[in-house]
A and B are shown apart, each in its own frame.
Chain A
Amino acid sequence: MGGFKRWLAGAVFVLALTLPLALPAPGAEVDPERIRGPKVRELYMVVVRDPDAAILALERGKLDVLGDLTRPSDIRRLSKDQRFSLSMAPGFHMAQVGFNLRKSPWNFPELRRAAAMVVPRDRLVRELFSGYSAPLATFLPPVSPYCDKGAAAPGLDVEGARALLKKAGWSWDPSGVLVPPKSKQPLPPATILSPTAGVAPTTAELADRIAGALRELGIPVKAEPLDFAAMVQRIDERKFDLYLMAWQLGRDPDSLYSFYHSSMDVRGGYNQTGLKDAEVDRLLEALRYAPGEPSARKAAAEVQRVLADRLPIIPIYTRYSVAAVSRAWSGAVATRAAAADNSWSLLSMAPASGGARPLYWALGDEPKTLNPFTASTATDWQVLGLLYDTLLAVNPNNLSDLPWLARSWKVETLTGAGGPRTRLTFSLRGDVLWQDGTPFTAKDVKATLLFLKKNSIPRYVDAVRDIDSVSIPDDRTVVVTMKNVSYWHLHSIGGLPIFPGPLLARIDDWRSWQPARTPLPGKPGLTELYGTGPFVFREAKAGDFVRFTRNDRFWLIPR
């Protein structure tokens, strides 16, 4: 714990020294319950792929909101410009060094610990990211509600690392290379895989510097930059010593199971380090199948503590999410957990002065598809997320659950002949209309869940696999009974986009369905791409923009 406090103090010091913008202060929270909107009548999501062109477009007033700012030079430049308000929030990004635990010498826990003690995270972040990232020592990003900040990898202590190795029987040969206990052979050369400088310049440089730090301890490591696909293949084939890779995680700690459970050390699984530890497995199963939030939180904390002891990886840094918003607009929602380029901002933003005008929101890439069953990129879902609602929403302040299409919910554990199972009961809002004017009911939720389950759609298969039955006692209640017990079923089901039931019944082939190109019969101006969300899809000009208008039927607009 003391180590983490020292690390945190260091990180805060680094931030204070380097950043022209700071994280919102605690207490600077918005009340999502009081947001009423959207106030924007017309929204253009503008495709600008080149980051330089995006900055120029923002400065020329062609864009109002630009997110995903990562280059320190851009952030500094925009932060000095009074026309923009910049917000910064810790993200779910996590860069880590993974060890191949299947082979020597990385199966020596003391070597992994010593390696973690010589990586100068603070200095690396300061020098490579100008402070727009935070050194990371935990096994989940600190913004995650389930991150146990007490369970951390050791901080920088080069002398401590050498002492630890000496105590475990390690020695150094005359050239300074480490020799394992009970061996006369120094460690063989090893490599740390990373993407190439052409693709990820800072990551490649980071790998080089980490290799340098390890060499100073006597571990003969050098960086091996590879084409990203080749790197992933080497890791999949388990042909590596160490690797440096960044992940984008979610608010739930399910990544822990994927990364560290022994059953995930299979083809297509993410247990890349090959950790096989009975205690970790037991705790991860307790986490995955926890019946309620408190037991889930307890299991998450316990497994992180064990991981801090086993150290299959060294957490390195987490990147901040930075967004710029034109001051010609007011009401953007920026919290300690979310920069301003979030969906809450779209509900509450309004022109700071003057009459209504369109809002121009930057898309860093073109949506690949607007079919919600095959859409997979973040850009696809930036668009689709405005159209489809979920049963639960995420509180932008603390990432807790908020009522959305479901007014309330209940998680119960049933016992019976089939064994214990989770039952989710959602009570739905009564004032929600589809964008075609028909009322949203429990039938739509049931149709969605059954459609996704019946068709085994890859994107949704993990969420709906364990559904046993769906019943609707009335138009406002949905009861979902799962095949097993897990608190996370609430988030899996509660986070699914809900589609109009009658429309689902008409879809012959979900794979080739092109809703954005298919007019909705009898509803001029609408396509089959419609939901209950705050914005109505109007048109997509490939390569240029996606246009929406406000959904005047949206339930958060005061009537």
Chain B
Amino acid sequence: MTVKGYWTRRLGGAACVVAIVLVANFFLFRLMPGDPVSTVLDPRFSPEAKAKLEALYGLDRPLGVQFFIYLRRMTTFDFGLSFATQRPVLDEILERLPNTLALLVPAYLLSVLLGTVLGVLAARRRGRVAEKAVLAAGAVSFSFPSFFVQMVLLLLFAYVFPVFPLRGSLSIPPPQGAWPLLADRAWHLALPVLSLVLLGFGGWALTVRNLVVKVMGEDFMVLARAKGIGQRRLFWGHALRAVLPPLLTLFLLSLPGVVSGAVLTETVFSLHGVGRFLLESVLGQDYPAAGAAFYLLTLITVGSNLLADFLVQLVDPRIRTGGEGS
């Protein structure tokens, strides 16, 4: 298969996935128990008022009409008005996105960096204390529930030893001036980011260590060693290069999970982010907001997949298609 053919097939497949998710997104929310109006539980709200609310949300129209309005909105990225806030859903998401990115980007990069460094260290120090320590720390980090760890950190470093703030993304009242404000935001994000790094590095350390250990035992590594290649070059030039494709894939495919995993962190630290918005939209049966959030998550997932494919081909000539081997 040619490169063009391969990518045509991959992009076609991705488009099919997006289309299936789009359709499922619409019907699944409507098949879920309850609806945005029936969950209004206020005896002072009459059936007539509920009918008005239903009309306001457009839920009184035939399902087919609702579906085509939904399709038009999703494909044009005009997601309509959120039922809960009556503001454009896109505005709601864009307003929260900087907070979520400021939390997740450093947390994810630091987790990956720390996990990779410790994984490599453990692999190179097999059987020694360093490996045992990394394995133990990795297992603890990997297995503790995030909510518990974050509450303990909050208690320790915001209450008992008040080094960090207890809540939110800025002080109240906020400091004046751009730099003090920036510093204040960084101070508020430090503990949430630290908590995510503590919770995230373990999985990476264990994965990297296992991959490197496995690669070090491969035939081509034995051959390279027999050829007299030095340890340093053997490790950095051969072993790490071999583990790069799976790490890259893992890195990109974990991205959507990281975004949706922001929900708990944003709740514990009272942060105004996309994860929390997603959760509240689903719980509140806010169809436009939940539909848009899941659609965007789908696009991130599909996009990450495609990007992973592309980058893996770049870094690993063995699986590059369209060449001699195809």
Partner-B contacts on A (CB < 8 A): 44, 46-50, 52-53, 56-57, 59-60, 62, 227-230, 232-234, 236, 247-250, 254-255, 258-259, 264, 266-270, 358, 360, 366, 368-369, 371, 374, 376, 456-459, 461-462, 465, 511-512, 514, 541-545, 547
Q: Is B155 an interface residue (CB 8 A)?
A: yes
Asked if B256 is at the interface of the complex by the 8 Å CB criterion, the answer is: no
- A105→B217 CA distance, assembly (Å): 73
Instruction: Please indicate which of the listed interface residues B41, B81, B167 has the most CB atoms of chain A within 10 Å of its own CB.
Output: B167
B166 engages A62 (CB within 8 Å) = yes
* B166 x A53 contact (CB < 8 A): yes
- Rounded to whole angstroms, the CA-CA distance of A232 and B273 in the bound complex is 29
Give Cα A229 to B39, complex, Å: 7
CB distance from B103 to the nearest CB of A (A): 12
B47 at the interface (CB under 8 A from A): yes
Contact indicator B173/A541 (Cβ below 8 Å)? no
Q: Mark B59-101, 1 if CB is under 8 A from A, else 0.
A: 0000000000000000000000100111100000001100100
**Do residues A268 and B37 form an inter-chain contact, with CB atoms below 8 A?**
yes
Q: How far is the CA of A250 from the CA of B154 in the complex (A)?
A: 37
Contact between B38 and A53 (Cβ–Cβ < 8 Å)?
A: no
B167: chain A residues within 8 A (beta carbon): 46-48, 50, 53, 57, 62
Q: Is the Cβ of B38 less than 8 Å from the Cβ of A47? A: no
Contacting residue for A544 out of B50, B52, B170, B267, CB 8 A: B170
Interface check B28, CB cutoff 8 A: no
Q: Does B166 lie within 8 Å of A56, measured CB to CB?
A: yes
A480 to chain B, nearest CB (A): 19
Minimum CB–CB distance from A259 to chain B (whole Å) comes to: 6
With beta carbons under 8 angstroms apart, the residue of B51, B158, B270 that contacts A268 is B51
Given that A53-B154, A462-B44, A511-B56 are contacting pairs, would A543 and B87 also be in contact in the complex, using a CB cutoff of 8 Å? Answer: no
The proximity string for B residues 15-40 relative to A, scoring 1 for CB distances below 8 Å and 0 otherwise, is: 00000000000000000111001111
Any A CB within 8 A of the CB of B111: no
Number of interface residues of B (CB under 8 A): 51
Given contacts A258-B43, A462-B45, contact A50 B174 (CB under 8 A): no
Minimum C-beta distance from A125 to chain B (A): 23
- Find out whether the CB atom of A50 lies under 8 angstroms from the CB atom of B268: yes
Known A366-B272, A511-B81: A371·B86 in contact at CB below 8 Å:
yes
> B173 near A44 (CB under 8 angstroms)?
yes
How would residues 143 to 175 of chain B score, 1 for a CB under 8 Å from any chain A CB and 0 otherwise?
A: 000000001001100110010001111101110
Q: Which residues of chain A have C-beta atoms less than 8 A from B42's C-beta?
A: 248
Pairwise interchain contact A229-B33, C-beta atoms closer than 8 A:
yes
Is A465 a contact partner of B48 (Cβ separation < 8 A)? yes
Contacts of B46 in A (CB 8 A): 258, 268, 461-462
Rounded to whole angstroms, the CA-CA distance of A227 and B282 in the bound complex is 13
Smallest CB separation, B12 vs chain A (Å) = 37
Judged by a CB distance under 8 angstroms, whether B271 is at the interface is yes
Closest chain B residue, CB of each to CB of A513: B86
Q: Are B86 and A543 in contact (CB under 8 A)?
A: no
A541 near B170: Cβ-Cβ < 8 Å: yes
